[in-house]
Amino acid sequence: MTLVSTPNDVVEQNWLASDQWGLLTQIPCYLALRMYGQSLDMLPKNVIGAITPRAVFIVAGDLDTLAPKFMAQQLYARAGNPKELWILTGAHHADFARIAPLEYGTRLTDFFQRTLLN
């Protein structure tokens, strides 16, 4: 499994993404999640360990403000083995193919060859 720019907690991620005007934007965003039917009780950070022994490759950008690298690090810490973490320097939210197209493709291919073909 590959997790790219994945939040560890959808509520926390939305608080961060909508913090420009504080509670004025954060509360409506949270209420929209609730009304939309977003599951708020199965947080990725709480369930990622349950998929062990499936391999997990977590990719994050060090400049990502929507799913900051600390979220990727937390997912990685809670994942079982086998697991890999790549935090790409200079990358924002999900722009890895633009920042490092060859390395991104190579890392994905290598990960899947090592973990799916064995």
Q: With cut-offs at 50, 70 and 90, classify the pLDDT of residue 111.
A: very high
Q: Is the pLDDT of residue 62 over 90?
A: yes
pLDDT at position 31 is 86
Q: State which H helix or E strand residue 116 sits in.
A: helix 101-116
Q: With cut-offs at 50, 70 and 90, classify the pLDDT of residue 109.
A: very high
**41-57 tens-digit pLDDT:** 778 888 899 999 999 99
Write down all domains in the chain, each with its CATH number in brackets.
2-116 (3.40.50.1820)
Q: Which amino acid is at 63?
A: L
Rounded CA-CA distance 114/118 in Å is 6
pLDDT at position 110 is 95
pLDDT at position 118 is 63
pLDDT at position 1 is 78
Rounded CA-CA distance 29/66 in Å is 14
Look up residue 78 and give its two tokens.
Answer: 């809670």
